[in-house]
Amino acid sequence: MNTGILDVSGLTEETQRRAQTLRDPEAMTIVEEAMENIRRAAAVIKRGGLVAFPTETVYGIGANVFDEEAAGRVYEAKGRPSDNPMIVHIARASDISKLSKKLSPDIVKLADAFWPGPLTMVMEKSEDVPARVTGGLQTVGIRLPDNPVAIELIRLAGTPVAAPSANISGSPSPTRAEHVIADLNGKVDIILAGEVCKVGIESTVVDMTVSPPAVLRPGIITKDDIEAELGHGGDGWGHSGDGSFCVRSATQKEPSPLCRTEPSPLCPKSPGMKYTHYAPKAAMLVVEGGREKVRAEAARLKAMNEALGLKVGVLLFEEADYVKAAHDFYAVLRDMDDSGMDMIIAGALPGTDGVSFAVMNRMMKAAGYNIVRV
């Protein structure tokens, strides 16, 4: 397939503001050029094609949610098992009604608080949503992304857009246009090449069909952020799909060790959790412990493996800047692969902060849970 790579990097919140409110002629031209490319991409979605596009979290591969064949082609392009449900993206909150007939007060609260933004809410699906999109589940994950290219694309396509992350299944999620081009050139109709994704890790996925809602995949919107909006403090939190979140009650502030169980392989709550994800080509090892000890151990392991003739990269994020760690994480993995590393030694982030917990969730998966403690 011939993939059209179209530049939309001119459409940012800043140029949009300058064009719309200040009527700045230069910004208006830049925005109009990007909009022309987005119109072409929207027409492709309308006729059943695939478009890779930027969101604030990671790039996605989009198809018309109501077109089952197109959804099937998304699985093919990614090389992804078809029982892994896709997140459906909308351009305004009221479009939930096209996908789900059950709107609870909690869904409205979280939509008000966090949309547009990196939060996916899983709710009961309406009959119109094909089972192919939801991997056979009776629920659908919905999100309103905070990115002007994504919003204009969905709006102009005139339909909600089903979109998993725009990587080949199993490789790190793409946060820059060049990552998408590396993975999907020749496999989709159009790649909208936009800005670097500002968040850098995928959205928080929260299951709204259980009470209290349960976080299925951590992200930069943390369970404390959600809890604060819902005011469910006393009810505690449900189990997540990968066992990484724990029931919390008003009296029990620490996670219960009982919660550290494996998900049932037969019935994972969030099916995406059962596949190997995010893995770089290099072998990866996480080192956990005090900062100085981690630094020393990483240097020791690097020297030892280099003596064996391996190329070794060390990944130590700035202390306490977890938002930046999230922003850079996938891109660093890809950069290390591109520079031919055989092995990546990564320092664990302390798991107390919600955002560092979300990054650690990806880091542990990327490393295949390969960890040493010092």
Examine residue 147 and tell whether it contacts ligand TXA (CB under 6 A): no
Q: How far is the CB of 357 from ligand TXA (least distance, A)?
A: 16
**DSSP states of 242-259:** TS-S----SS--SPPGGG
Distance, in Å, from the CA atom of 230 to the CA atom of 113, rounded to the nearest integer, reads 10
Q: Verify binding: residue 337, ligand TXA, rule CB under 6 A.
A: no
Q: Which of residues 159-188 bind ligand TXA (CB under 6 A)?
A: 163-165
Nearest to 316 by CA among 356, 287, 347, 361: 347
Burial class, 9, CB count within 10 angstroms (exposed 0-12 / middle 13-18 / buried 19+): middle
Closest residue by beta carbon to ligand TXA: 272
Q: How far apart are CA 148 and CA 63, in angstroms?
A: 18
Site track 105-124 with ligand TXA (rule: CB under 6 A), x = hit: -------------x-x-x--
CA 143 to chain centre: 11
Could you say which of ligand TXA, Mg ion, none residue 60 binds, taking C-beta under 5 to 8 angstroms by partner kind?
Answer: ligand TXA
Nearer to ligand TXA, 87 or 193 (CB): 87
Asked whether position 165 contacts Mg ion by CB under 5 A, the answer is yes
Residue closer to ligand TXA (CB basis): 38 or 343: 38
CB of 26 to ligand TXA, least distance (A): 31
Tally Cβ neighbours within 10 Å of residue 13.
Answer: 12
User: Which residues, 6+ apart, have CB-to-CB distance to 147 below 8 Å?
Assistant: 54, 55, 56, 116, 194, 197
Q: Say how many residues touch Mg ion, by CB under 5 A.
A: 1
- Measured from the CB atom, the residue of 172 and 347 that comes closer to ligand TXA is 172
With respect to ligand TXA, which residue has the nearer C-beta, 194 or 271?
A: 271
Among 91, 153, 216, 331, binds ligand TXA (CB under 6 A): 216
CA–CA–CA angle 71, 75, 78 (5° rounding): 135
86 sits near ligand TXA (criterion: CB under 6 A): yes
Which of 110, 91, 320, 328 lies closest to 198, judged by CA?
328
User: What Cα–Cα distance (Å) separates residue 16 from each residue in 25, 158, 199, 262?
Assistant: 12, 21, 20, 46
Site for ligand TXA in 220-279 (CB under 6 A): 270-273
Sites of contact with ligand TXA (CB under 6 A)? 55, 57-58, 60, 84-87, 118, 120, 122, 134, 137, 139-141, 143, 145, 163-165, 202-203, 205, 216-217, 270-273
